[in-house]
Amino acid sequence: MRVRWGMKGRNILLDEWELPPFDEIETGDYEPAIRAAIAEAERNVEDIVAQEARPTFANTIEALEQADRRLNRVGAIMTNLNECCTSEELQEVVMRLEPEMTRFGMNVMTDRRLYRRVQEVWHDWQDELERREPLSPAPPSLTTEQRTLLEETRKGFRRHGVALEGEAAERYKRNEEELTELKLRFGRNALADLNAWTLHLTGEGDLEGLPESARAAARAAAASRGLDGWVFALAHPSYGPFMTYSARRDLRERMYRAFGSIGNRGNGNDNNETIRRIVSLRAEQARLLGYDTYCDYVLRDRMVGSLPVLRNFMQQLHDAVLPAARRDLADMQALSAEEVMPWDVAYLSEKLRQQRYDFDSEQLRPWFPLEAVREGIFGLFGRLYGLRFEEDRSVPVYHEDVRVYRVSQLPTAHYPLAAEMGILYLDMHPRASKRSGAWMTEFRGQHGTVRPQIQVVCNFSKPTADTPSLLRFEEVETFMHEMGHAMHGMLSEVQYESLGGTNVKRDFVEMPSQVMENWCYEPEFLATFARHYRTGEPLPTEYIDKIRAAQNHLAGWYCLRQLNLGYTDLAFHASGWSDTSDFKAEAIEAAAMTNLLPRVEGCCTATNFGHLFGGGYASGYYGYKWAEVLDADIFSRFKQDGIFNTETAAAFRREVLSKGGTDLPTVLFKNFMGRLPDNQALLKRMNLR
């Protein structure tokens, strides 16, 4: 492998740079850079444990926080690009290096010399608390953020097996390395299987019901492959419109079965054995640490706290929405002469929406060109928080589709000083090298005076020769959702990177993003940007009224669908597993109470369920519904005070967004709302109260 060195005679990734040098990085640079960064981090850790000075917060906890900073920086570039701009060569490199990075992390978190130092700092802090007079005016030696970092550091050692001995300790480390490889393999297989299947149509009759936007995109996809006719793929910008509008039920079934069998086709990309091994290893890891199930292990460190509390939450929500979901299904069935099957739901849902509200989401596309939506979202954050977004084409990017914005703070009554807030990378369009979905991540997190570098990735249809990228209303919500995550990271004001921005409890992390979706239904916000891309005509009031009226369209059905995915998650992680378990049968049985449609042979949710097996949502998929309770409650205050109220926005920024994970989520919520969460706002929003 060729290794290229920078101007200073060093690997470019090890040079000192402010912005990632994407225009200079080559795949061959990662391997030597990651290994050099690991070696540097190992030396830093050894310096911590070798010092003779008594352990203190500064020389142990802070030093450990900073020990692997270069490794995290370089690793973030490599792993993030593997998600959105990968290649076979990069995938091979990541498959080699991720286990090595995991091994380094496990060696640190199981180093008993280091843990003893952490324990000494912890005991000194506990002794100080015991000695403190209840009404002492003197501030404690540790701030709230420092106390949280100490607690999280200590907990991290305990949750990563520092107390294990002998074969159990070695087994735990080996399992973690294998799990890293398996998660990467899962994602690689799913992406390859998604890209491998297309539907090539050559007759006009095959396009019945499809809008011109879908036809044009499919025509362009065919032309790019040197084919006549139209090509539809399984990536959402192609798959979603086809399933929603195609009047050809037979073709919808073909598309559905193809999508539903991703990773389950018995080919070289099959994920069945990968899942079996992942689940078995997770169960074993939990048992090694003294937990009954992997879910028990995960939930101990979440807002929900325990499996019984989670099951109660899901059962209550299930009981509340099941009657509405059954009514929704009956209404869809009334539109079909045949039994409703899964490939009919999107199509019948859209027909039902048109019937109920005289509302066709496809008709709204001309009012939501991507660039206008982006400027509308930027404008909202400017209005709420005084932020300005300025494109900077001089910043290096990893793909020509990426746009970069410098985010700055304009002086406001609440933030009187102008300041640079960070860098935002927007990557909006699909390609074969990018996994499906939408997400936010960071190339660098905020800490101290260092500002973040944040990436938002979506898969919106590309512009054509005569039409810009036009979004469906649901995609406007998706963009707003991811920008909510981005602003959680951008407005972070913490001292320690591991506690900044979105580094919060998993069942709290979706709240800041989901709360932003609420603005998409507010006429005052839509009026700021929703204009026809050709005529400049504002989105008609009647359309806004229809958007609002349809906000709860099939709310019961889609809530039950989310619960179905949550129960599928629990099926894998809330029971004991072995390599011989029939995971498909058990998952189907566990989710049966939320599945109102016939099962489709050959389709398997799990084999393409990246949140669970390629990402970090195992035992946590419920978090989307949990966070809905929080976001509905929080937005009720914005509605009461005014959706552009800068006092309320400043309080939300001060008490929640800026704090990251420096305090417990319940504390942050209570500081903003003045009370604990109440689910009545969510039930009201869903018309279930």
pLDDT at 1 over 70: no
**618-641 pLDDT tens trace:** 999 999 999 999 999 999 999 999
Mean pLDDT of the 642-668 span: 97
Q: What is the pLDDT of residue 4?
A: 38
CA dihedral 537, 538, 543, 548 (to 10 degrees): 170
Ranges 13-27, 131-145, 511-525: which has the least confidence? 131-145
Edge-to-edge strands, sheet with 419-427: 387-391, 403-409, 419-427, 453-457, 439-444
Cβ-contact 572, 606 below 8 angstroms: yes
| Rounded distance between C-alpha atoms, residue 259 and residue 196, angstroms | 11
Tell me, what's the pLDDT at 5?
39
What are the φ/ψ torsions at residue 444 (nearest 5 degrees)? -155, 135
The pLDDT of residue 580 is: 56
Compute the distance between CA of residue 154 and CA of residue 124 in angstroms, rounded to an integer: 13
**Upper half-sphere CA count for residue 161 (Cβ side, 13 Å):** 23
Report residue 579's pLDDT band, with 50, 70 and 90 as the boundaries: low
Does position 204 have pLDDT exceeding 70, yes or no? Answer: yes
Residue range 55-64: mean pLDDT, rounded: 98
Picking from 340, 243, 312, 259, the residue whose alpha carbon sits closest to that of residue 596 is 340
Quote the CA–CA distance of 407 and 450 in Å, as a whole number.
Answer: 14
C-alpha span between 156 and 162 (Å, rounded):
9
Q: Do 511 and 655 touch, CB atoms closer than 8 A?
A: no
Side-chain-side CA neighbours of 616 within 13 Å: the count stands at 9
Give all domains of the chain, ordered by start, each with its CATH number. Answer: 12-109+111-159 (1.10.1370.40), 197-260 (no CATH), 366-554+624-685 (1.10.1370.40)
The residue among 466 and 652 whose pLDDT is bigger is 652
Dihedrals phi, psi of 156, to nearest 5 degrees = -60, -40
pLDDT in tens, 439-477: 999 999 999 999 999 999 999 999 988 899 999 999 999
Contact 414, 658 (CB under 8 A): no
Distances (CA, A) of 445 to 35, 314, 374: 22, 33, 23
CB 368 within 8 A of CB 530: yes
Q: Which two tokens stand for residue 673?
A: 């709302």
Which H/E stretch holds residue 167? helix 166-196
Share of the chain above pLDDT 90, in %: 89
- Model confidence at 593: pLDDT above 90: no
Q: Is the pLDDT reported for residue 80 higher than 90?
A: yes
Is residue 687 pLDDT above 80, yes or no? no
List the catalytic residues.
482
- Token couple for 316: 């209550």
Q: What is the mean pLDDT of residues 418-436?
A: 96
Helices assigned H by DSSP within 334-472: 345-357, 370-385
Whether the per-residue pLDDT at 577 is higher than 90: the answer is no
Rounded to whole angstroms, what are the CA distances from 294 to 161, 169, 282? 14, 17, 6
DSSP 460: P
Closest by CA position to 624, among listed 637, 636, 610, 611:
611
Highest mean pLDDT among 614-618, 667-671, 676-680: 667-671
The pLDDT value recorded for residue 394 is: 97
- As given in the structure block, the two tokens for residue 335 are 């539109």
Average pLDDT over residues 483-496: 98
| C-alpha span between 292 and 290 (Å, rounded) | 7
pLDDT band for position 575 (50/70/90)?
confident
Would you say residue 438 has pLDDT above 60?
Answer: yes
Whether the per-residue pLDDT at 615 is higher than 90: the answer is: no
Biggest CA-to-CA distance, the chain: 83
Q: In the predicted model, is pLDDT for residue 3 greater than 50?
A: no
d(CA 471, CA 466): 15
Write out pLDDT tens, residues 314-343. 999 999 999 999 999 999 999 999 999 999
CA distances to 273, 443, 511, 680 from 489, in Å: 36, 11, 13, 29
| Whole-prediction pTM | 0.93
State how far the Cα of 568 lies from the Cα of 560, in Å rounded to an integer: 12
pLDDT at residue 9 is higher than 70: no
For residue 365, is pLDDT > 90? yes
In the block, tokens 């036009």 appear at: 470
Mean predicted confidence (pLDDT) in 424-445: 96
Q: What is the pLDDT, as a whole number, of residue 585? A: 76
Task: Name the percent of the chain lying above pLDDT 70.
Answer: 98
Q: Cα–Cα–Cα angle for 283, 285, 286, nearest 5°?
A: 65
Tokens of 144: 């709230």
Distance CA 454, CA 443 (A): 6
What phi and psi, each to the nearest 5 degrees, are found at residue 106?
-65, -40
Number of Cβ atoms within 10 Å of the Cβ of 7 = 8
Cα–Cα distance, 585 to 600 (Å, whole number): 13
Please check the confidence at residue 2 and state whether its pLDDT lies above 60. Answer: no
- Calculate the average pLDDT of the chain: 94
340 token code pair: 């409703």
